Structure 1
Amino acid sequence: MKALLRLTLPLLMLAVLTGCQSVTSASADHLRGTGDLGLIIERATGSVLVIDHSEYEILGRVEGLGDLSHASVVYSRDARYGYVFGRDGGLTKVDLLTQRIVNRVIQSGNSIGGAISQDGRYVAVSNYEPGGVNIFDSRTLENVLTLPATYTNASGEQAQSKTVGLVDAPGNQFVFSLFEAGEIWTVDMVSQPPVVSRHPAGKQPYDALITPDGRYYIAGLFGEDGLSMMDLWAPEQGVRSILPDYGKGEQRLPVYKMPHLEGWAIADGHAFVPAVGRHEVLVATMDDWSMVQRIPVQGQPVFVMASPDNRQIWVSFAHPDNDVVQVIDAQTREIIRSLEPGKSVLHMEFTPRGEEVWVSSRDSDRITVYSTRTLEAVATLPARKPSGIFFTSRAHALGL
């Protein structure tokens, strides 16, 4: 009997271990991370594509997100959930793994973007109608704070301003600009209740960005030449003007589409800035923010984006020159290639380490993927009137 047990016990243990291994392997086949996933906005159909940028694969389509004619996305800290901001005031939480809507609220009449706080607890939405910012619990989408963007207009009356350039900042802050009021507001979400600070910002700030280190908030001004910059390390110093009067005395062209400052480039100690109403990319040294060069380009730039290694600057354009993307070498500051991804290029997104860039062409109904090494197309994907491309790597970056 003992001899029989000595023979059968190892066999039983082997069977158990093999069975456990089989179950584990079977389960692992259905598990995956989210680090190489992303969402692509299909603006005409109120839908988003869930994509895998490692395999150039469309994993699924999520529908029912409302008006996405001007839409953007931020991600939860674990990069599983995307928060989609729609033009109709919709805030939609999408699960990338199950490819479904988790929650959706209509929080205003017209919204243009949003941000997620440094700790991932809050999602803020920037609104045109009514002007202001609403802040939500990221888990439940329950409203936790409403900030009407009130100011006194030229007639001495109380009014509400459109809010633009909303970003997250270190210290669990949100920062945004007021278009009509000409102000920059900061919201400290650590303090309870949150503390709001107001700062004069110049005439008609139309968009803004935060530098990659989270120190400087810079707003573009539509009502005057130049930009306004706030040092978030020393907010008591207020807002100062940089690149003042860069177009003074020159004839402006009609502005077909406002440039997006969130996509402008910081590279090699310089800032590459889209010029409003001009066929130029402006270059400023970050030592003192003085302009050192103007780079002629083929049209009015909309996005001026640096590759993750800062070696290249990719530029897209407003109508009627929006079928071309130009690539600038950050060191020589010369155009090294003009590409034709398709009709009506709307957005570009670099893969996290910058080996490729994805480009949406709305009127060609496709996404084109380029190698940043060869500047050749390596893949195309079909999409319905695609616009914004947002990879989950944004979950771990400030201001995106």
Structure 2
Amino acid sequence: MIRNIIFTSAAAALCALAGQLAAAEPEPEVLFATHCAVCHGDDRLGALGPALIPEALKRLKGDKLQAVIAQGRDATQMPGFADQLNAEEIAVLAAYLHEPLPDIPTWDKARIESTLVLNEDYAEPAGPEHGADPLNLTIVVETGDHHISILDGDKMEVMQRLETPLAVHGGPKFSPDGRFVFIMSRDGWVQKVDLWNMAEVGRVRAGVNSRNIAMSADGKWLAVANYLPMTLTILSTDDLSVAEVKEIVGKNGQPSRVSAVYQAPPRESFVLALKDVPEIWEVFYGEDPPFYGFVHDYRDEGVLGYDEPFPVRQITLKDIMDDFFFSQDYEYVMGASRDGMGGHVVDLVIGHTIAALDLPGMPHLGSGITWERDGRTVMATPHLRDSLLSVIDMKSWETVAQVATDGPGFFLRSHENTPYLWADVFFGPNRDVMHVIDKQSLEIVKSLRPAEGKTVAHVEFDRYGKYALVSIWEQDGAVIVYDAATLEEIKRLPMVKPSGKYNVFNKITFSAGTSH
């Protein structure tokens, strides 16, 4: 009897303990390590996904962050976890992500330069060591296993395949002569590759969580836009040394992440889109930066550090704009916020907003293209939420047409030597569709479906506009080569989740058919 009582009491105690454990609040560190670390880094400082710290989550307070964790996020690769985590676990995880890190690393000039790694096997070639046209090479970024493939643009064959840093993000940038290509990863690594011998020269970590890079018109400087720390890093393209690290602080004293940095060649400047303050920054690298007739204290006109290297001009906006498109002469910038509707046009010469844009459905201006239609220059942009393309007159800034598509899209591409623009349907059930659209009539000429049920996205042309290259954006994907005139498939090159493709000539000549 006593023995049974002891066993019964022990069993009851174990059940009670199990109940207490089951009722205990889930450990946020365990939840993060299990579900988030693979994309956002063990230290929450970002990898494939962005950093998950309070500085990066200011706009996702309260229930907003919980909704993103549960449902995913539009226009990103962030999935929803509602089928894996219950409401309590999601709430605990969201609260944890808003807790400051105990220590955020300093990422100053000394720290950046300490990360420099040079390829000891690299030997500078005297000239191209291959028989391909150096200006008709195309770089294919394969995000599935962190490589790039270098294609011969005439033969459409893979010449070389090189390993890249983790999670390449933003388009690679070429030196003005097309010899070098610079590639950036989400975690801030910048890799330099010599296309003459197709070898890595070296790499350096310019930030902790970075967005994209831009090349100066003279080829001397490479600017790196950072989310963390909130800086713009400017590297020497010659040896990857640090020329400048600029802290980004708005006129109101608020620090800001840099959404993107763009080159503005005729202005000899970099233009920054800021995530957290309603300003555009223009950073000058030329020897004689223009100040537009200002005759008194430059600081009163929003120009900072006139006597310092890389002086900054701050332009106040009506709203935050973190997605840009430039006119071909770089006098005007069209901008939109990823969190808002519509957009604005800013005249960079006078530094003021001059027009509003009617752009619903989260426009993706960074993928816009321009061409001549009915005697005027027009620009088209896809939308990340709405199933349409908007066509805008670049003089009146009015939306002159909308083209209905089979779903929201991400990329547009064209070429001066083709009558068509190509638009993917990146989101939704028709993600396997690629629309080919007549640039004059704006009618869909053909809807290609080369890989049923798989994501088909992003087009690039060879330098002559003869071939159109389309990605099957899957782990077991491919680059499909089309005849750009007949729209017939020529061949398929197997690739591991090929995302962007970038032709040397089209990029260094700033083709109107590609984003800059």
TM range (shorter): 0.7 to 0.9
Change (3 A) 1:79 1:350: same
**Counterpart in the other structure of 2:445:** 336
Distance apart, 1:371 and its partner CA: 1.5
Change (3 A) 1:267 1:28: closer
Structure 2 Cα separation of the partners of residues 130 and 266 of structure 1: 38
Whether 1:104 and 2:203 are equivalent positions in the alignment is yes
SS of 1:236 mapped into structure 2: coil
Structure 2 Cα separation of the partners of residues 237 and 385 of structure 1: 41
Q: Is the 8 A contact 2:258 2:272 kept in 1?
A: no
Change (3 A) 1:97 1:355: same
Distance apart, 1:28 and its partner CA: 9.9
SS of 2:407 mapped into structure 1: coil
SS of 2:381 mapped into structure 1: strand
Whether 1:42 and 2:159 are equivalent positions in the alignment is no
Whether 1:395 and 2:508 are equivalent positions in the alignment is yes
Q: Is the 8 A contact 2:143 2:499 kept in 1?
A: yes
Counting strand residues as a fraction of each chain, which structure ranks higher?
A: 1
Structure 2 Cα separation of the partners of residues 387 and 286 of structure 1: 29
Give the 5 Å matches for 1:147-186.
Answer: 147-151=246-250, 158-186=254-282
* % identical equivalent positions: 26
Structure 2 Cα separation of the partners of residues 260 and 381 of structure 1: 29
**240, 248, 272: which one pairs with 2:380?**
272
Distance apart, 1:229 and its partner CA: 2.0
Q: Is the 8 A contact 2:282 2:312 kept in 1?
A: yes
| Bigger RCO of structures 1 and 2 (CA < 8 A, at least 6 apart) | 1
Structure 2 Cα separation of the partners of residues 34 and 348 of structure 1: 20
**Counterpart in the other structure of 1:51:** 151
Q: Is the 8 A contact 2:224 2:261 kept in 1?
A: no
CA deviation digits over 1:300-341, x for unaligned, max 9?
121122322362221112222321110111111111110124
**Counterpart in the other structure of 1:14:** none
Structure 1 Cα separation of the partners of residues 235 and 470 of structure 2: 31
Letter of the aligned partner of 1:351 in structure 2?
Answer: D
Structure 1 Cα separation of the partners of residues 319 and 420 of structure 2: 32
Whether 1:319 and 2:427 are equivalent positions in the alignment is yes
Letter of the aligned partner of 1:395 in structure 2?
Answer: I
Change (3 A) 1:168 1:354: same
Change (3 A) 1:117 1:290: same
Structure 2 Cα separation of the partners of residues 237 and 189 of structure 1: 18
Structure 1 Cα separation of the partners of residues 128 and 463 of structure 2: 25
Distance apart, 1:216 and its partner CA: 2.1
Whether 1:368 and 2:480 are equivalent positions in the alignment is yes
Structure 2 Cα separation of the partners of residues 29 and 289 of structure 1: 47
SS of 1:332 mapped into structure 2: coil
Scaled by the length of structure 1, the TM-score of the pair is 0.83
**Counterpart in the other structure of 1:19:** none
**353, 357, 361: which one pairs with 2:464?**
353
Distance apart, 1:57 and its partner CA: 0.9
**Counterpart in the other structure of 2:357:** 243
**Counterpart in the other structure of 2:291:** none
Distance apart, 1:267 and its partner CA: 3.8
**Counterpart in the other structure of 2:161:** 61
**78, 82, 97: which one pairs with 2:181?**
82
Scaled by the length of structure 2, the TM-score of the pair is 0.65
**Counterpart in the other structure of 2:317:** 201
5+ unaligned residues in a row in structure 1: which ranges? Answer: 1-26
Whether 1:214 and 2:336 are equivalent positions in the alignment is no
**343, 347, 363: which one pairs with 1:231?**
347
Change (3 A) 1:170 1:30: closer
Distance apart, 1:189 and its partner CA: 0.6
Change (3 A) 1:309 1:221: farther
- Greater CA drift, 128-137 or 262-271: 262-271
Change (3 A) 1:128 1:299: same
Distance apart, 1:366 and its partner CA: 0.3
Q: Is the 8 A contact 1:308 1:352 kept in 2?
A: no
Q: Is the 8 A contact 1:94 1:103 kept in 2?
A: yes
Structure 2 Cα separation of the partners of residues 310 and 118 of structure 1: 27
Counting helix residues as a fraction of each chain, which structure ranks higher?
A: 2
Change (3 A) 1:33 1:338: closer
Aligned residues: 359
SS of 1:35 mapped into structure 2: helix
Q: Is the 8 A contact 1:357 1:372 kept in 2?
A: yes
In angstroms, what is the RMSD of aligned CA positions?
Answer: 2.4
